[in-house]
Structure 1
Amino acid sequence: MKKFMLLLLFCHVASPVLHSLKYFYTGSSQVPNFPEFVSVGLVDDVEFDHYDSNTQRNEPKQDWMEKVTADEAGYWDRQTQILQGSQQVFKGNIETVKKRFNQTGGVHTYQVMYGCEWDDETGATNGFNQYGYDGEDFIVFDLETKTWIAPTPQAVITKHKWNGLPGETEGRKHYLTQICVDWLKKYVDYGRSTLLRKELPSVSLLQKTPSSPVTCHASGFYPNKIMLFWRRDGEELLEDVDHGEILHNHDGTFQKSVDLDVSSVKPGDWGRYSCVFQLAGDEKDIVTKLDPKVIKTNWGKTEIKRDGDSPSGFPTGGVVGAVVGLLVLVAICIAGVIFWKKRNNGFEKANTSDGSASSDAGSAS
């Protein structure tokens, strides 16, 4: 199974003005204690609305989304109706795709990710729409050619059907290049005080055992357009490092870690290494030198403990934040926010004139 991983390979140039609107639909079969259909909407990777087959209602997840109610009469009712229709389509599509793969029972998921991006400085836009089944790419929309691409033989029937629908691909392109971008701009404006804020993290060096890698852990930053890396003698290290994914904290901020293998580093050379945190749009870096005196460990003696530190020397808040972040990540993964390894161009159904979310995903049969 392909594993989605957002590895942001920065060239030390991160755009602070690239905004995104993404929707994730997940239909599931025989997943215990989980709704058979879930929809999650995100602006700049912040969840702003949610629907599932248990509640049968699309609801805001951010206070600033209440502004939509005032500006757009009937907004939540319309979105609820759209998602109720998508729920039924996804239920049928899972059964259809299961037959394509000669499957009967078992746990299965059918997902779609669609959305758009907008650079408010250059005006550049982009759109994407792709479907997956059991974590694998199933069918992807190519924005440039306005055609569906089937990376797996089981999706060829669907590709031919969708490419043959009159006006379908044109409408899809119109949605992601115009309607989606218009709504993205509205949402960014609604949530300006939240989405455009900047928060710097606390940065800690952690090490489990004397032979373990040293982890540079940054937590509490916002937005998630950041760089976190190790450098030696002022130059970024590309070897002997392991980058973790950006995770959500319970308070809406983010955390990330990067490990440095110090097994071959001589004690006298530790001072040549440092961990660097860079937040997009902030000129001041947070630099933490590789110093044994500041490394928090769960072995031997540690530096003088601060309020909130655990007896082992690890910051309780940081550990709890990491656990909470991981749990949030797992929940979001299930809901379809963490998707497939590749993110190709494409988008979602385009026959809505008013909505932020588009209508149903289309039948795969």
Structure 2
Amino acid sequence: MCPGSHSLWALATYIIGETPFPEFSSVGMLDDVQVGYYDSKDKMSVYRGLNPTDKIYDDLAQEGDNVFGTMYDDMKERSFQLKHHFNLTGGVQVQQRMAGCEMLDNGEPAMIMYKETFNAIYTDQTVFSNTTHFTYDAGKLLLGWDGMMQDYKRTLYINVHLPRCIRTLKTFLKIEKNVVMRKVPPRLRLIKKEVSGGFQVSCLAFGFYPRHINLTLLRDGQPVAEQDLTVGEVLPSGDGTYQLRKSLEVSTEELKKRHDYTCTASHLSLDNKLDVSWESGAERVHLSTLSALLVMVLILILFSIFSICVKRRRRTASQALSQLANVYAKVAEEINVSSDSAT
């Protein structure tokens, strides 16, 4: 999906054979947010965050029942054909379909597509993009369309499927705009971890939304080749945001060259690129400086404790001498009083 664009997808599954799951089920996804569900058991569209008494719910439910019901019948017929084509008489057979459309941030349609698999084997795919390019790939299991069928399908996609999908996408965008149109900027960390033979430098971006992000690791201002990096997937963080990590192994010999490493990210939520840096050869110097500072702080703390103890001891000794002097004075006074009485 292009940055700034939005998409609406139906992820459908049709099952032949005995399982605890419905024969047909489909999930509706707006970008990365589930907005609807339909299955062959209830034959009713259910939508997230909508009150069933609202008119918009009735309109979406009617549209969803029509679309999902048609998809159910189509996948059922196709699964039956493929099952007999491969002479599959028993067991569980699974057909899956991904169908939907994408809209640019200016509201113009970008593409509509469907892709299908049967028992995890790619069957066929149709893509109609930029309102001009129509392609069909028959895959490995089905015969391709002839020219007349391709013209018919192209007309169907232009005049029926694409406008219908874009119209529904815009409706869901109005409902879910506070979720899918929010922009949360990434936080960036350059993590250094000592490993056998050197360091691992990891560029981590986290806490961002939407999920599309450009994350680059630079060495002395030049991008490190992707094939030299260990690149992870964009993963959900559990709080509605995403994270991505790219890592580079830096050998001991490379450390001696004191390269400057920079992690930089560009995202829809940022006006300018975000970056953090690290100079490889300076790591041990920084650690040594930090250790010296810690020793100095420790010495100052010990000296302060010693000074406090000495002061307390002096104060205690002074107080003791003062008390002895007071006692001595009282004793002397009592002796003098006794002498006067005797006289």
Same fold at TM > 0.5 = yes
Question: What's 2:26 paired with?
Answer: 39
**Aligned-pair distance for 1:52?**
3.6
Question: What's 2:217 paired with?
Answer: 230
Change (3 A) 1:207 1:35: farther
**Aligned-pair distance for 1:220?**
2.0
- Distance in 1 between residues matched to 2:5 and 2:66, nearest whole Å: 30
Question: What's 1:221 paired with?
Answer: 208
Give the 5 Å matches for 1:310-349: none
**Aligned-pair distance for 1:69?**
3.8
Change (3 A) 1:22 1:290: farther
Question: What's 2:158 paired with?
Answer: 173
* 8 Å contact kept, 1:148–1:163: no
* 8 Å contact kept, 1:51–1:83: yes
Tell me the SS of whatever aligns to 1:155.
Answer: coil
CA deviations over 1:127-180 (Å, ceiling 9, x no partner): 22222223343122253575743121x210xx4499649955422332343222
Q: Which has the larger radius of gyration?
A: 2
Change (3 A) 1:251 1:98: farther
Tell me the SS of whatever aligns to 1:224.
Answer: coil
Question: What's 2:247 paired with?
Answer: 259
The yes-or-no answer on 1:120 pairing with 2:105 is: yes
Question: What's 2:65 paired with?
Answer: 80
- Distance in 1 between residues matched to 2:268 and 2:222, nearest whole Å: 19
- Distance in 2 between residues matched to 1:57 and 1:217, nearest whole Å: 43
Change (3 A) 1:142 1:78: closer
TM-score, normalising length: structure 1? 0.62
* 8 Å contact kept, 2:112–2:127: no
* 8 Å contact kept, 2:94–2:119: yes
CA deviations over 1:79-98 (Å, ceiling 9, x no partner): 23543453354344334223
The yes-or-no answer on 1:94 pairing with 2:79 is: yes
* 8 Å contact kept, 1:115–1:128: yes
The yes-or-no answer on 1:17 pairing with 2:23 is: no
- Distance in 2 between residues matched to 1:162 and 1:67, nearest whole Å: 45
Change (3 A) 1:164 1:290: same
Moved more, 191-200 or 22-31: 22-31
Unaligned runs of 5+ in 2: 284-289, 291-343
Change (3 A) 1:252 1:134: farther
Cα RMSD after superposing both structures = 3.8
Tell me the SS of whatever aligns to 1:276.
Answer: strand
Give the 5 Å matches for 1:1-365: 16-29=3-16, 34-53=21-40, 56-61=43-48, 63=49, 69-71=54-56, 73-80=58-65, 82-84=67-69, 86-106=71-91, 108-121=93-106, 123=108, 125-143=110-128, 144=132, 148-152=136-140, 154-156=141-143, 159-160=144-145, 164=149, 167-205=152-190, 210-211=195-196, 213-238=200-225, 239-263=227-251, 266-269=254-257, 272-290=260-278
- Distance in 1 between residues matched to 2:203 and 2:76, nearest whole Å: 44
**Aligned-pair distance for 1:191?**
2.2
**Aligned-pair distance for 1:198?**
0.8
**Aligned-pair distance for 1:275?**
1.9
The amino acid of 1:248's aligned partner reads P
CA deviations over 1:225-280 (Å, ceiling 9, x no partner): 21122111122211411322222333322222222232476224565112222212
TM-score, normalising length: structure 2? 0.66
| Higher helix fraction (1 or 2) | 2
Larger RCO (alpha carbons 8 Å, 6+ apart): 1
Change (3 A) 1:286 1:268: farther
The amino acid of 2:46's aligned partner reads E
| Identity in percent | 25
* 8 Å contact kept, 2:103–2:110: yes
**Aligned-pair distance for 1:35?**
4.4
The amino acid of 2:183's aligned partner reads K
Moved more, 262-271 or 116-125: 262-271
**Aligned-pair distance for 1:111?**
1.9
Tell me the SS of whatever aligns to 1:191.
Answer: helix
Change (3 A) 1:16 1:130: closer
- Distance in 1 between residues matched to 2:254 and 2:214, nearest whole Å: 26
- Distance in 1 between residues matched to 2:111 and 2:31, nearest whole Å: 14
The amino acid of 2:250's aligned partner reads V
* 8 Å contact kept, 2:264–2:276: yes
* 8 Å contact kept, 1:128–1:176: no
Change (3 A) 1:204 1:120: closer
